[in-house]
Amino acid sequence: MESKKRSATKAVAITAIVTLAAATAGFYGLYKAVLVTPADHDHTAATETMTEEEAQLYSCGMHPWIIAEEPGACPICGMDLTPIRDQAGPSAATTGERQIVYWRAPMDPTEIYHEPGQSKMGMDLVPVYDDELVGGVDVSIDPVTQQNMAVRTAPVRTAALIRTIRTYGNVAYDETRTAHVHPRFGGWVERMYVDYTGRRVKKGEPLFDIYSPELVSAQEEYLAARRNLSGKGDSTLLASARKRLAYFGVHEREIVKLEKRGEATRTLTIRSPIAGFVTAKKVSEGHFVKKGAPVYEVADLSKIWLEAAIYEHDLPWVKEGQKALVRMSYQPGVTLEGRVTYIDPYLNVKTRDVVARIEFDNASLNLKPGMYADVSIEADEGARGLVIPDEAVIRGGSRNVVFITRGDGKFSPRDVTLGVSLDDGTVHVLTGLAPGDEVVVSGQFLLDSESKLKEAIQKMLEAKSGSGQTGDKEEDFFGDMADGAGANGASAKAKGDDSFFDDLEVDKAGEKKSDD
């Protein structure tokens, strides 16, 4: 039984060793197949002097990472390898020559010039080289391919930075044209002349009558002081009693009527302080009103406010006095023109915006508080800068890239720093381009794919050239294993240990005898 277990264990070990050897050989074969090298290729002195730009390389159309120095078949799919066209010639980086793209101010990178000189601050301009702006590998395309790709270009130009900020707004009351009616004494509402909200009232029109014992007492004091004055009484007392009635909010008209009647009235009529519309009514007839409690709210709608929401990123562009155009959904085709009169000095924490106030005349009462409006604010500060079509930019999250033409079918990627988007479908460019450059506005995504593919191929070629220097060590990997195995076997025999396979044969012989 022990011999059977021992033989089974050794059989499992043999299977594991054979499987490991097969997997290692397969991995090594796949590693050699990815970077295809002809079998009879020899690293001669001529090959060492040949540069990568001069050698013609071949690749598989389905598996572009398969690169060979001679034609053949793809080791993965069996397709014929095709030549990699347009191998890049010597560039400025290889020749050591640096080309100046433009000149900029040292303190302001957006101040760009074509020729050397001095900036607006009197400082010498700093050159900007092409290798500082490149954002990838150059691409060369023949005219026929350019036509098939529908490649279009547009010049980088200097233009006025005009931007229209589009947002929403709500019609609101003019806070300087509203009034709150509340008695300065407590009492009961005897009669209401305006008994519903929305009613239009004139200035001085009666709103309600109120009975107040406190007010009746003040009237009696005034009449008594007036009678005492006719009998050579103190005029100071009369003035004090009259002033008390005024402090209670009694209109001068009511005081004159009180003098003519000669007796106190049970109720006092409260009148509207302004002309407008009743927007709130808090009580009804018979209700008791506390001192200072609001009873009516009246608003003048001949002028209204429109509160536009300005988000944080648009705040630097909005200034008081700018023209604003407003469009209402219930009046298609009608545009109202106003001016920004005020900007709140604080931010609304919940909505993350700032309110900009726009005032409008509303004699026709077409604008009603609570209405929604589309607002366009024209922001033109007179500044100028470099602009390009917005469609020319390839936005990649952390970087923005455009392709420029270099002549003779060559295109170079450039990393650019963008400003704000403008009205005419253009975008402000802060750094990365110079006036007169031609940027690609159609087909740039295909150019970007080709540039990235060429960049990947160059990296693979660099890795291949680096691995070629250590190729002898890699090829000796299995030889070292074999030598190590032989040395270990010899040392094991020298020590007198039984060979692994000899033990296996002995076990098999023992099993055969036991079976017999």
CA-CA distance, 175 to 304, in Å (whole number)? 9
Q: Quote the CA–CA distance of 248 and 251 in Å, as a whole number.
A: 9
Inter-residue contact 66 to 57 (CB < 8 Å): no
Ranges 6-10, 79-83, 248-252, 369-373, most confident: 369-373
Q: What is the mean pLDDT of residues 154-163?
A: 89
pLDDT of residue 498: 47
Whole-angstrom distance, CA of residue 324 vs CA of residue 317: 13
Mean pLDDT of 128-157: 78
Q: What is the pLDDT of residues 104-125, one digit of tens each?
A: 777 776 677 767 888 888 888 8
Helix ranges restricted to H, 231-296: 235-247, 252-261
Q: What is the mean pLDDT of residues 326-333?
A: 88
Max mean pLDDT among 37-41, 170-174, 489-493 falls in: 170-174
CATH 2.40.50.100-classified regions of the chain: 180-298
Inter-residue contact 278 to 197 (CB < 8 Å): yes
Architecture of domain 165-175+301-381: Beta Barrel (2.40)
Q: How far apart are CA 309 and CA 326, in angstroms?
A: 13
Is the model's pLDDT at 133 over the cut of 70?
Answer: no
- pLDDT at residue number 372: 94
**pLDDT of 378:** 86
Residues ≥6 apart with Cβ < 8 Å to 215: 185, 187, 248, 250, 268
Whole-number Å distance between alpha carbons of 296 and 287? 14
**Taking the CB of residue 436, how many other CB atoms lie within 10 A of it?**
11
Average pLDDT of every residue of the chain: 77
What pLDDT score was predicted for residue 207? Answer: 93
CATH of the domain spanning 180-298, picked from 2.40.50.100, 1.10.287.1080, 2.40.420.20, 3.40.50.11740: 2.40.50.100
- What three-state secondary structure class fits 390? helix
Give residue-wise pLDDT tens across range 357-380. Answer: 999 999 999 999 999 999 999 887
Q: What is the mean pLDDT of residues 330-350?
A: 91
State the number of CA atoms in the 13 A half-sphere of 275 facing the CB.
4
User: In terms of DSSP bridges, do strands 372-389 and 157-173 run parallel, antiparallel, or are they unpaired?
Assistant: antiparallel
Query: What residue spans in the chain does CATH classification 2.40.30.170 cover?
Result: 165-175+301-381
Interhelix angle 500-515/2-34, rounded to 10 degrees, is 140
User: What is the rounded average pLDDT of the residues 322-329?
Assistant: 91
Query: pLDDT at residue 476 above 50?
Result: no
Following CA atoms 507, 508, 513, 516 in sequence, which dihedral angle do they give, to the nearest 10 degrees? 140
Please state which of the ranges 42-46, 82-86, 334-338, 501-505 shows the lowest mean pLDDT: 42-46
Contact between residue 308 and residue 354 where contact means Cβ atoms under 8 Å apart: no
Spatial separation of the C-alpha atoms in residues 209 and 191, rounded to whole Å: 5
The pTM of the full predicted model, rounded to 2 decimals, is 0.57
CB proximity list for 189: less than 8 A, separation 6 or greater: 208, 209, 210, 283, 284, 285, 286, 287, 288, 289, 295
Q: How far apart are CA 511 and CA 509, in angstroms?
A: 5
Q: Where are the alpha helices (DSSP H) in 169-251?
A: 213-230, 235-247
**C-alpha distance from residue 43 to each of 37, 207, 380, 435 (Å):** 11, 108, 67, 49
Nearest by Cα to 218 from 190, 191, 189, 247:
247
CA dihedral 480, 482, 484, 489 (to 10 degrees): -170
